[in-house]
Amino acid sequence: MNSIVHMPKAIPINSPTVPVEMTGLTQPASKTEPSRWFLFLGRHRESTLIAVLLALIAGTALASPHFLNLQNLRDVLLNVAIISMLTAGMTVVMLMRHIDLSISSTVGITAYAVGSLFVAIPGLPVPVAVLAGVLIGCAAGCINGALVTFGRVPSLVATLSTLYIFRGIDYAWVHGGQINATSLPDSFALLANGDVLGVPVLVLIALAVLTVIGYYLKHYRGGREFYAIGSNPEAANLAGIRVSRRVFKGFVLSGALAGLAGVLWLARFGTVDASTAKGIELQVVAAAVVGSVAITGGVGNVWGATLGALLLGVINLSLVVLKVSPFWQLAIQGALIVLAIATDTLLSRAIARWTMKKRDHGEA
């Protein structure tokens, strides 16, 4: 790993022609800089999000003392578990400066397909069912990935199309029917409703999935490539990254997670028809951008996104507890998306300006 092979290290490079001011180029910030809190916000977005989350919980608890109980906690976690897995997939796609709007249709069609499998083969082992769901999701992801990489279709157009195409296929297939909980084996329902030491299995599954993806994104080359591609696609290509292949894999991963989410959706709710999970893509995009995953790629991580999902989940529950019309949900989501994008962009611009000013200051 030793670095500079062709360069004797002893020679000092500071030739006399380099003036002293040059060293000021990259000096650390002076402590008295007035806009330091900007930088703090920018560097500690997760902490900021946790603070908002706690404030929201405290506020709701003050308004309605019943709010803080185990059942509510369980409900929130169960609700967020599935969304957070989808958000992790969306994070991966958004890191690459793409978007996957088709996930809700993939969830719907997978849930129905796996339900139909149980109807057709009543004794189907649960792991096989899960695997089948993931594979269906992978297939959907492959279609999106192929359209974006091989077909060079912008991901917005590609996945907006498949959002409707997959849903249309779902409708054509289901034809007004539905799957009921009675068709599903009890062991399958345990996947969502069972407990291990009081913690719902579904939550444990989600935690495991999030941990694996989060760890992969941080600690493995493949994970870093997602960041690199979104940060600068051209540089990624020059660095020898197989960009198309990586983008394709990202979409397959997003599809696979949507497939898994579909299976778990079926396990959790039991009843599934053609309109299952319709519209949740907006909730997932909202969770990701609120969790400071940049829509322009290269910035964000699974934990931030999960916090975003959690925040949305708590908001939704608070609405129920405070007896506010559930029709607020969608409007709040929308407002949060706009707000999150605006603050994120303005914040990062302010930081960029600030760094630049610091640099120029050092130079002068």
Partner 1 sequence: MTTPATPPRLELRHASKRFGEVRALIDASLTLRRGEVHALLGENGAGKSTLVKILAGVHQPDGGELLVDGQPCRFARPSAAIAAGIAVIYQEPTLFPDLSIAENIYMGRQPLDRIGRIRYDVMEQAVEEMLVSLGVQLKAAQLVRGLSIADQQVVEIAKALSLNANVLIMDEPTAALSKPEVERLFAIAERLRDAGVAILFITHRLEEVFRLTQRITIMRDGAAVHFAATSEMDHDSIVAKMVGRDLATYYPKVDVVPGEVALSVNKLTRRGVFKNISFDVRRGEIVALAGLVGAGRSEVARAIFGIDPVDGGEVLVQGKRLQLGKPALAVNAGLALVPEDRRQQGLALDLPIARNASLTVLARLGRHGLISANTERQLAAHWGGKLKLKAHTMDVAAGTLSGGNQQKVVLGKWLATNPHVLIIDEPTRGIDVGAKAEVYQTLTDLVQAGMAVLMISSELPEVLGMADRVLVMCEGRITADIPRSEANEERIMAAALGQAEQPLRRAA
Partner 2 sequence: MNKSKHFSWEAMLCVVLIASLALGRGLSPDFLGASNFSNLLADFTEIALMALPMTLIIVAAEIDLSVASVMGMSSALMGVLWHMGLPMPAVIVTCLVAGTLAGLFNGVVIVKFALPSLAVTIGTMALFRGCAYLLLGDQAIADFPGNYTLFGISNVGDSFIPQPFVIVIIAAILFTVLLQATPFGRSLYAIGSNQTAAHFSGINVARTKLRLFVLSGFMSALAGVIYTLRFSSARGDNGEGFELSVVAAVLFGGVSIFGGKGSLVGVLLSLVIIGVLKNALTLSDVSSEVLTIVTGLLLLSSVLVPNLLARWRESRQRRALAAA
Residues that bind partner 1 (CB under 8 A): 1-9, 11-15, 17-19, 21-23, 25-27, 219-221, 224-225, 227-228, 230-232, 234-241, 298-299, 351-352, 355-357, 359-360, 363-364
- Residue 125 interacts, among partner 1, partner 2, none and using kind-specific CB cut-offs from 5 to 8 Å, with none
- Rounded to 10 degrees, the C-alpha dihedral 284/286/291/297 comes to 90
Identify which of residues 113 and 209 has a Cβ nearer to partner 2 in the complex.
113
Q: What x-and-dash track marks residues 90-109 binding partner 2 by CB under 8 A?
A: ---------x----------
- Tell me which residues in 35-94 interact with partner 2 (CB under 8 A): none
Query: Which of partner 2, partner 1, none interacts with 227 (beta carbon under 5 to 8 A by kind)?
Result: partner 1
Of these, 50, 119, 165, 181, which contacts partner 2 (CB under 8 A)?
Answer: 165
**Window 117-156: contact mask with partner 2 (x via CB under 8 A):** ------------------------------x---xxxx-x
Q: Which stretch in 32-40, 118-126, 259-267, 331-339 sits in contact with partner 2 by CB under 8 A? A: 331-339
Q: Which residues contact 206 (CB under 8 A, 6 or more apart)?
A: 80, 81, 82, 84, 85
- The strand ranges marked E within 184-300 are 195-196, 199-200
Q: Name the β-bridge partners of 263.
A: none
DSSP secondary structure letter of residue 33: -
Give residues with Cβ within 8 angstroms of 116, minimum separation 6.
Answer: 179
Residue from 56, 329, 358, 359 that binds partner 2 (CB under 8 A)? 329
Report the sign of the C-alpha dihedral through residues 351, 336, 311, 91, in that order.
negative
168 binds partner 2 (CB under 8 A): yes
Q: Which is nearer to partner 1, 30 or 64 (CB)?
A: 30
Q: Which does 71 bind (CB under 5 to 8 A by kind): partner 1, partner 2, none?
A: none
Concatenate the DSSP letters of all residues of 313-332 into one string: HHHHHHHHHTT--TTHHHHH
Residues in CB range of 272: below 8 A, 6 or more apart: 108, 111, 112, 115, 178, 179, 265, 266
CA–CA distance, 259 with 169 (Å, rounded to integer): 16
- Sorted by sequence, the CB contacts under 8 Å of residue 50 that are 6+ apart come out as 307
Residues 6+ apart with CB under 8 A from 140: 102, 105, 106, 109, 110, 162, 166, 255, 258, 259
Regarding 169 and contact with partner 2 (CB under 8 A), the answer is yes
- Closest contact distance (angstroms) between CB of 338 and partner 1 is 23
* Backbone phi and psi for residue 143, each to the nearest 5 degrees, phi listed first: -60, -50
**Applying CB under 8 A, which part among 35-43, 125-133, 238-246, 339-347 lies near partner 2?**
339-347
- Whether 226 and 217 have beta carbons less than 8 Å apart is answered as yes
Q: Which of 27, 40, 69, 164 binds partner 2 (CB under 8 A)?
A: 164
Q: Which two three-digit tokens encode residue 232?
A: 């600068």
Residue 156's binding partner among partner 2, partner 1, none (Cβ under 5 to 8 angstroms by kind) is partner 2
Task: Give me the 259-298 binding string for partner 2, x by CB under 8 A, dash otherwise.
Answer: ---------------x-------x--xx--x-----xx--
Out of 320, 338, 352, 356, the residue judged to bind partner 2 by CB under 8 A: 338
How far apart are the C-alpha atoms of 351 and 364, rounded to whole Å?
20
If the CB atoms of residues 72 and 79 are measured against partner 2, the closer one turns out to be 79
Q: Say which amino acid occupies 109.
A: I
Residues that bind partner 2 (CB under 8 A): 99, 147, 151-154, 156-158, 160-165, 167-169, 171-172, 274, 282, 285-286, 289, 295-296, 325, 327-338, 341-342, 345-346
